[in-house]
């Protein structure tokens, strides 16, 4: 009988920890960001590298470390470049803490000559879509997760 109560207690504890982290994960998914700066790092006729600095607010009670990320950029359905991490092991501070992330956008200037990109921008800049598709990695303590898929689509009017 004692073993049953111990098993139930351990099961309840495990479920409680699991529920807590799932709730914090859902809060973490709804992080807020603000662009604090942007500047051109490199400019050539074929490529532009822009560093965009973000301030990210994490309302979750847990902190994580973003180990790496890589996202392809699509404008109106056409790949125009990619985003790579400017530094590794960036920590997301917990409890409303603010973290600063530099991201480097590498954009192929020749991609804008393709049909959907330039025509979509000329038609309506605000209704044009920007999609990020790629992966990221995070770690929390001894747990490390790599190549977590990420895909998100924005309207350009969201940035204006």
pLDDT per position as a tens digit, 124-149 = 666 778 888 999 888 888 888 888 88
How many Å apart are CA 106 and CA 157, to the nearest integer? 21
pLDDT the model gives residue 97: 86
Query: What are 12-60's pLDDT values in tens digits?
Result: 888 887 777 777 777 767 778 888 888 889 988 888 898 888 888 888 8
Secondary structure, 3-state, 10-46: HHHHHHHHHHHHHHHHHHHHCCEEEEEEEEEEEECCC
CATH class of 32-159: mainly beta
Task: Give, as one character, the DSSP assignment of residue 9.
Answer: H
DSSP state of 128: -
DSSP class of 76: T
Q: Using alpha carbons only, how large is the chain's radius of gyration in Å?
A: 20
Residue listed under structure tokens 């973290």: 99
């Amino acid at each position: 009988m004692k073993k049953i109560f111990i098993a139930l207690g351990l099961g309840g504890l495990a479920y409680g920890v699991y529920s807590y982290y799932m709730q914090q994960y859902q809060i973490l998914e709804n992080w807020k960001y603000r662009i604090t700066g942007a500047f051109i790092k490199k400019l050539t006729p074929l490529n532009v590298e822009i560093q965009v600095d973000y301030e990210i607010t994490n309302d979750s009670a847990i902190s994580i470390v973003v180990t790496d990320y890589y996202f392809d950029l699509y404008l109106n359905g056409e790949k125009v470049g990619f985003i790579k991490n400017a530094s590794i092991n960036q920590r997301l501070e917990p409890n409303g803490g603010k973290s600063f992330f530099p991201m480097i956008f590498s954009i192929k200037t020749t991609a804008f000559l393709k049909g959907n990109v330039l025509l979509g921008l000329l038609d309506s800049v605000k209704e044009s879509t920007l999609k990020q598709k790629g992966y990221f990695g995070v770690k929390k303590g001894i747990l490390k997760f790599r190549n977590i898929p990420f895909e998100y689509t924005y309207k350009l009017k969201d940035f204006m």
